[in-house]
Amino acid sequence: MQTNEDNVVFRVDEASDLPIWAQLRNRFSYLIRTGVLKPGEQLPSVRGLAADAKINYNTVTKAYRDLELSGLIVSVRGRGMFVQRDVSPDESEEDAIDALLENCIRQYRSKGMTYRETRDRMLSVIDDMERKSREAEEEKRDYGIS
Protein backbone atom coordinates (compact mmCIF):
# COMPACT_ATOMS: atom_id res chain seq x y z
CA MET A 1 0.00 0.00 0.00
CA GLN A 2 1.43 3.33 -0.98
CA THR A 3 1.44 6.32 1.30
CA ASN A 4 0.84 9.02 -1.33
CA GLU A 5 -2.65 10.42 -0.61
CA ASP A 6 -3.79 9.86 -4.22
CA ASN A 7 -2.42 6.31 -4.47
CA VAL A 8 -3.81 4.76 -1.29
CA VAL A 9 -5.23 1.34 -2.11
CA PHE A 10 -7.79 1.42 0.68
CA ARG A 11 -9.02 3.83 3.32
CA VAL A 12 -11.88 3.11 5.71
CA ASP A 13 -14.89 5.35 5.13
CA GLU A 14 -16.05 5.99 8.69
CA ALA A 15 -19.28 7.61 7.47
CA SER A 16 -20.29 4.54 5.45
CA ASP A 17 -22.98 2.12 6.59
CA LEU A 18 -21.06 -0.71 4.92
CA PRO A 19 -18.94 -2.96 7.13
CA ILE A 20 -15.20 -2.45 6.65
CA TRP A 21 -14.73 -5.89 5.03
CA ALA A 22 -17.39 -4.99 2.42
CA GLN A 23 -15.75 -1.62 1.75
CA LEU A 24 -12.44 -3.41 1.21
CA ARG A 25 -14.02 -6.06 -1.01
CA ASN A 26 -15.78 -3.41 -3.10
CA ARG A 27 -12.57 -1.41 -3.50
CA PHE A 28 -10.55 -4.39 -4.71
CA SER A 29 -13.41 -5.53 -6.94
CA TYR A 30 -13.46 -2.07 -8.51
CA LEU A 31 -9.67 -2.02 -8.99
CA ILE A 32 -9.76 -5.47 -10.60
CA ARG A 33 -12.80 -4.89 -12.82
CA THR A 34 -11.49 -1.56 -14.09
CA GLY A 35 -8.09 -3.05 -14.92
CA VAL A 36 -6.11 -1.04 -12.36
CA LEU A 37 -5.05 -4.38 -10.87
CA LYS A 38 -3.98 -6.61 -13.75
CA PRO A 39 -4.56 -10.37 -14.11
CA GLY A 40 -1.79 -12.21 -12.27
CA GLU A 41 -0.86 -9.19 -10.16
CA GLN A 42 -0.24 -9.88 -6.49
CA LEU A 43 -2.44 -8.20 -3.87
CA PRO A 44 -0.99 -6.79 -0.66
CA SER A 45 -0.48 -9.42 2.04
CA VAL A 46 -3.26 -9.79 4.58
CA ARG A 47 -1.00 -8.72 7.44
CA GLY A 48 0.56 -5.86 5.49
CA LEU A 49 -2.76 -4.45 4.33
CA ALA A 50 -4.26 -4.79 7.82
CA ALA A 51 -1.32 -2.87 9.30
CA ASP A 52 -1.29 -0.19 6.58
CA ALA A 53 -5.05 0.39 6.66
CA LYS A 54 -5.16 0.05 10.47
CA ILE A 55 -7.86 -2.60 10.33
CA ASN A 56 -8.19 -6.05 11.83
CA TYR A 57 -6.40 -8.97 10.16
CA ASN A 58 -9.68 -10.95 10.14
CA THR A 59 -11.42 -8.12 8.28
CA VAL A 60 -8.91 -8.33 5.43
CA THR A 61 -9.15 -12.14 5.46
CA LYS A 62 -12.96 -11.97 5.14
CA ALA A 63 -12.77 -9.51 2.24
CA TYR A 64 -10.14 -11.60 0.43
CA ARG A 65 -12.18 -14.78 1.00
CA ASP A 66 -15.24 -13.12 -0.54
CA LEU A 67 -13.20 -11.93 -3.53
CA GLU A 68 -11.87 -15.45 -3.96
CA LEU A 69 -15.38 -16.95 -3.83
CA SER A 70 -16.42 -14.38 -6.44
CA GLY A 71 -13.67 -15.64 -8.74
CA LEU A 72 -11.78 -12.37 -8.82
CA ILE A 73 -8.67 -13.49 -6.93
CA VAL A 74 -6.89 -16.77 -6.24
CA SER A 75 -4.83 -17.84 -3.26
CA VAL A 76 -1.46 -19.42 -3.98
CA ARG A 77 -0.31 -21.33 -0.91
CA GLY A 78 2.79 -19.76 0.58
CA ARG A 79 2.89 -16.94 -1.97
CA GLY A 80 -0.24 -14.83 -1.37
CA MET A 81 -3.29 -13.61 -3.22
CA PHE A 82 -3.31 -12.84 -6.94
CA VAL A 83 -5.80 -11.40 -9.41
CA GLN A 84 -7.32 -14.25 -11.42
CA ARG A 85 -5.71 -14.55 -14.83
CA ASP A 86 -9.02 -14.97 -16.66
CA VAL A 87 -10.68 -11.89 -15.16
CA SER A 88 -11.34 -9.31 -17.81
CA PRO A 89 -12.28 -5.76 -17.04
CA ASP A 90 -16.04 -5.60 -16.60
CA GLU A 91 -17.83 -2.34 -16.80
CA SER A 92 -21.33 -3.70 -16.23
CA GLU A 93 -21.34 -2.61 -12.58
CA GLU A 94 -20.14 0.85 -13.50
CA ASP A 95 -22.67 1.00 -16.34
CA ALA A 96 -25.47 0.25 -13.87
CA ILE A 97 -24.22 2.95 -11.51
CA ASP A 98 -23.86 5.40 -14.41
CA ALA A 99 -27.50 4.71 -15.33
CA LEU A 100 -28.52 5.64 -11.78
CA LEU A 101 -26.44 8.79 -11.99
CA GLU A 102 -28.02 9.72 -15.33
CA ASN A 103 -31.44 9.23 -13.76
CA CYS A 104 -30.47 11.62 -10.93
CA ILE A 105 -29.32 14.17 -13.48
CA ARG A 106 -32.60 13.84 -15.40
CA GLN A 107 -34.53 14.38 -12.14
CA TYR A 108 -32.55 17.56 -11.39
CA ARG A 109 -33.15 18.73 -14.95
CA SER A 110 -36.88 18.03 -14.65
CA LYS A 111 -36.90 20.43 -11.67
CA GLY A 112 -35.65 23.14 -14.03
CA MET A 113 -31.98 23.04 -13.08
CA THR A 114 -29.33 23.67 -15.74
CA TYR A 115 -26.51 21.20 -16.31
CA ARG A 116 -24.15 23.63 -14.56
CA GLU A 117 -26.47 23.88 -11.53
CA THR A 118 -26.83 20.10 -11.49
CA ARG A 119 -23.08 19.61 -11.58
CA ASP A 120 -22.58 22.17 -8.81
CA ARG A 121 -25.24 20.43 -6.71
CA MET A 122 -23.66 17.00 -7.24
CA LEU A 123 -20.18 18.31 -6.40
CA SER A 124 -21.63 19.87 -3.25
CA VAL A 125 -23.02 16.47 -2.22
CA ILE A 126 -19.66 14.82 -2.91
CA ASP A 127 -17.81 17.51 -0.96
CA ASP A 128 -20.22 17.08 1.96
CA MET A 129 -19.72 13.30 1.99
CA GLU A 130 -15.95 13.76 1.88
CA ARG A 131 -16.07 16.31 4.72
CA LYS A 132 -18.15 13.95 6.88
CA SER A 133 -15.70 11.13 6.21
CA ARG A 134 -12.75 13.35 7.21
CA GLU A 135 -14.57 14.46 10.36
CA ALA A 136 -15.22 10.84 11.31
CA GLU A 137 -11.51 10.08 10.81
CA GLU A 138 -10.54 13.07 12.96
CA GLU A 139 -12.99 12.05 15.69
CA LYS A 140 -11.56 8.57 15.62
CA ARG A 141 -8.03 10.01 16.03
CA ASP A 142 -9.24 12.23 18.90
CA TYR A 143 -10.30 9.08 20.71
CA GLY A 144 -6.98 7.42 19.93
CA ILE A 145 -8.63 4.78 17.74
CA SER A 146 -6.63 5.31 14.55
- H or E element: which one contains 76? strand 73-76
Of 72, 66, 82, 73, nearest in space to 21 by CA: 66
At 31-59, the pLDDT tens digits run 888 888 999 999 999 999 999 989 999 99
DSSP H or E run through 59: helix 57-69
| Interval 72-107: pLDDT, tens | 999 999 999 999 988 766 556 777 677 778 888 988
pTM: 0.63
